[in-house]
Amino acid sequence: MTVTVPIDHVGRPLNDPVLPGGRRPPRWMHRADDAAFIGLLSGGANVIMELARPGVGYGVKDSRVETGRADRHPIKRARTTFTYLAVALSGTDEQKAAYRRAVNRSHAEVYSRPGDPVQYNAFDKDLQMWVAACLYKGFVDVHRIFVGEMDDETADRHFREGMTLGTTLQVPPEMWPADRKAFDEYWEQSLDQIHIDDAVHEYLWPIAAGRLGNATLPRPLQKRLDAVNLFMTTGFLPQRFRDEMRLPWDEAKQRRFNRVMATIGYVNKVMPRFIRRFPFNWMLADLDWRMRTGRPLT
């Protein structure tokens, strides 16, 4: 017996979950967003990957946008980042336009000055492309660890939809690699441009250790918590980035990381779906509320 599943104009099943405002998520997300909550564990690693390009690292480290600094306002910065991901992947045109304007206002203050050790500008399309590539790769890695390998059709669709991670800002569509093979080539070539110097390393280390701003615990507890968070962050990082951050890793740690991820993945499967999909099931609703009430979006 053949069962016909009704689809919409882009080939997405009409019974896919509906997001606030009648939006439907990208087709791959109806499974991948079930790992959204535990996917937050990879957040520190993704920040490190992005900031490993000196132009991004110095742009963030020396940002004059006080409220957007991850080292001083980590929760607000996380909300801004996750909202951008939600908007780029499944927001309406109105939400994308509003969020682009808000981000652009912040980015207008992020640029280097004569004499700075690294020249950068937040509107640099190459740097934005790198950040988008890191976000896309982060989704792929989280999906592989907690959901499983994608088949070719799903992976190709995911890759095409991932383009919006860049085009929601200033990355033109033609800059996004033509296919996954071209992306892999772009990624390998881009690794030649990454370098984490002492200044950026000092900025990134508390993020790798999962510290929230300047808050600290008693020394023994803080040391233990740092060790746990560094282990998790390092496990999500590709080896090249571990080397740049001077974070040791070996086969024994990899086996331990695999066991921990398998356990966390199992726990995730038995949690209620609304928890598994947090915070992305809340971000767009929060954005709508901010747009209606005139509150800051970033």
For 206-259, the pLDDT digits (tens) are 999 988 766 677 888 889 999 999 999 999 999 999 999 999 999 999 999 999
- Which positions ≥6 away from 286 have C-beta within 8 Å? 79, 83
Read off the pLDDT band of 4 (50, 70, 90): very low
Residue 132 forms beta bridges with which residues? none
Residue 269 domain flag: yes
Q: Does residue 2 lie in a domain region?
A: no
Average pLDDT over residues 26-38: 56
Q: What is the mean pLDDT of residues 32-57?
A: 87
Q: Which residue has the higher pLDDT, 18 or 40?
A: 40
Bond before 279 cis per omega within 30 degrees: yes
pLDDT of residue 15: 39
For residue 20, being part of any structural domain is answered with no
**Residue 211 maps to a domain:** yes
Q: Is the pLDDT of residue 22 over 50?
A: no
Q: What is the reported pTM? A: 0.84
Query: What's the pLDDT band for 198 if we cut at 50, 70, 90?
Result: very high
The whole-number pLDDT of residue 66 equals: 74
pLDDT score recorded for residue 9: 33
- For residue 18, being part of any structural domain is answered with no
* pLDDT in the model for residue 33: 60
For the cut 80, the answer to whether the pLDDT of residue 183 exceeds it is: yes
Pick 129 or 66 by higher pLDDT: 129
User: pLDDT tens digit string along 115-172?
Assistant: 999 999 999 999 999 999 999 999 899 988 888 888 999 999 999 999 999 999 999 9
Number of domains in the chain: 1
Q: d(Cα 151, Cα 126) in Å, to the nearest integer?
A: 30
112 lies in some domain:
yes
| Residue 3, in any domain of the structure | no
Q: Which domain holds residue 53?
A: 25-289
pLDDT exceeds cutoff 80 at 73: no
**pLDDT value of residue 34:** 66
pLDDT value for 111: 94
The CA–CA distances, whole Å, from 140 to 112, 150, 200, 202 equal 32, 9, 26, 28
- Please state, rounded to an integer, the average pLDDT across all residues of the chain: 85
In a domain? residue 150: yes
